[in-house]
Structure formats: C-alpha cells, structure tokens
Amino acid sequence: MDGRPYIGRFAPSPSGHLHFGSLIAAVASFCDAKSNHGTWLLRIENLDPPREVEGCADDILRTLEGFGLVWDNVVQYQSKRHHLYNSALHKLKGLGMTFECACSRKDLATVGGLDFYPGTCRNGISHYKEEKSIRFQVSKSFIENVTYDDLVQGSQNMLKSALGDFILRRADGYFAYHLAVVIDDAEQGITNIVRGADLMDSTPRHLLLQDALSFKSPLYAHIPLAYNIMEDKLSKSTKAFPIQIQNAPNQIYDALKFLGQSEVGIDSPENMLSQAIHQWDISKVPKSSNTYWT
C-alpha cells in the first residue's frame, strides 16, 4: 500500500449475466477491500453498446444485492464518462504517443493475426479509409520492461517490445477498454484491483498508459479462472450459467472454497460474507485452478 486509503472496485460488463466466474471476482475484490477497511465501488463497463444485453446492467445490480455484495457510493457507468476518455486521448495525442490506423481486422489477419499489431500505420496511414482507429504507440513509452508484483501471481515481467500498439479508440468511434479502464481507475482513486486472470495480458498495457498519463498505478491481484464444465471453456463465456439469488449461500460457499479461504458455514449471504471478510487472507488464493464448475 502506498498510504492512500484502500479503494477497490468490481467492474462487470453488461454483455452477459453474472456467472460463477464473475462471482469469484466480485467476492474476492469485496472481501479484500472490506478486510482492509476499504471502499468497494461498482462500475458498469458499458462501453460497447452493440455487445450490451438489454436489462443486463440492472440485473447485475440486483444479483449483487441478492448476494449481499453491496457497493459503496453511486454506481458509475462508462457510457456517461466519454468526456473523460476524450480528454485523456487528447492528452496522449498531444504527447505524440498516438497514431491513426486504417487497418481493418481483415488487413491485419493477412499479416499474421491480431495478437500483435505489426506497425502498419505507425508512420502514416497505409491506405485511405474514412473511419480510422487510434492506437497507442508503445515504443514512445519511456518504460522498457513492464514489471509489477501481483498480489496473487507474484512478480511479473514483460518486455514492452512484446506488446503491439493497441487501440485506444475504435474505428467505429467507441473507446477501447484499455483506455477507459485506466482513466476510470485513476479518476476513481482505485488503489487495488482484484480481477480475473484472463485480464493479466491487459495489465502491462494499463501500466504503460498509467505511466504516460502520470497516474499512480494501483496494486493488482489476478485470481485464477473457473472453467465451465458444459462449455469446457473459460467461464467468462456469456454462455456460462447465470448465478441465481436463491442459491446464493451455496455459491458463496463454493466461491470462498475456490479462493482457498477458511471454511464459512452456510448462512445468509450477509453473515457468510462478514465471516469471510474477517478470515480473508489473499495469500491463500491459489495461482491457478483447473476446477470445473457448472
């Protein structure tokens, strides 16, 4: 901790209902915040209207309440924060750290896939196209080696050169997750991020953006993912079964077990969580898990 009061958050995207994987992230970030006498904020990451499922954001709020995962302060919605993303984008442009890109997914697929942007438009757009995305030019960052100590996964190290220039604003005009999440976490004073290990690939990009924008980086803890037995895929799949309020005690029990915490007796969600906060020990969270859940 860097002396700032602990502020944590849970930041679901309303592209699907909460499932067991999201419950684990919610319980872990909630217990970590509360056991550190911190604040736990809720942010609905509705940046991508085409992927948003109608009614899902409200359903997420009701489900969290039904599980006793009650947030502090008012819920923030990314859809109402575009002005913040715009001004950060201007700042990055002013610093000479962005460039326009006219490549479509198809263009990039022909030069070796989307995982690593090959730099096609870095020195000027490759061909005329009305709708262009804006990318962060990773080579302009002063950081060479992206390092951080993950509170669950241990020390992490990634060469900047292993990251492609990533998108800040998409060609369709929507802001990209990487930009919005970094701005929101900084603007909301988030000190600790506890989230699923599927986002570990994103963290080095977030650290570069935080450095470029002179933001203090939060501490990170990436918790292992639960696999979905039906899909045999990461439970982040929107097809994973939604969690049900009537099963809350059993599912909280399973989530705490998955997180390696001391056993909590079946009781009301509120009582179970208050015992879990009391016993919470982040050092017991396993680095990985191959547990399957339905």
Residues that bind ligand GLU (CB under 6 A): 11-13, 45, 181, 195, 199
- Do the beta carbons of residue 138 and residue 166 sit within 8 Å? yes
Nearest residue (CB) to ligand GLU, 48 versus 165? 48
Beta bridge partners of 147: 157
Nearest residue (CB) to ligand GLU, 158 versus 199? 199
Nearest residue (CB) to ligand GLU, 125 versus 200? 200
| Minimum separation from the CB atom of position 273 to ligand GLU (A) | 20
| Minimum separation from the CB atom of position 195 to ligand GLU (A) | 4
Instruction: Give dist(CA 134, CA 279) in Å, integer.
Output: 45
Q: Are strands 219-223 and 192-196 parallel, antiparallel or unpaired?
A: parallel
* Single-letter amino acid code for the residue at 206: H
- Do the beta carbons of residue 266 and residue 200 sit within 8 Å? no
The dihedral formed by the CA atoms of 178, 183, 189 and 194, expressed in degrees to the nearest 10: -10
| Minimum separation from the CB atom of position 246 to ligand GLU (A) | 24
Q: Where are the alpha helices (DSSP H) in the chain?
A: 20-35, 56-66, 82-94, 105-109, 177-187, 203-212, 248-258, 269-279
Nearest residue (CB) to ligand GLU, 34 versus 195? 195
| Minimum separation from the CB atom of position 13 to ligand GLU (A) | 4
| Minimum separation from the CB atom of position 45 to ligand GLU (A) | 4
Nearest residue (CB) to ligand GLU, 56 versus 264? 56
Enter the DSSP assignment of 110: T
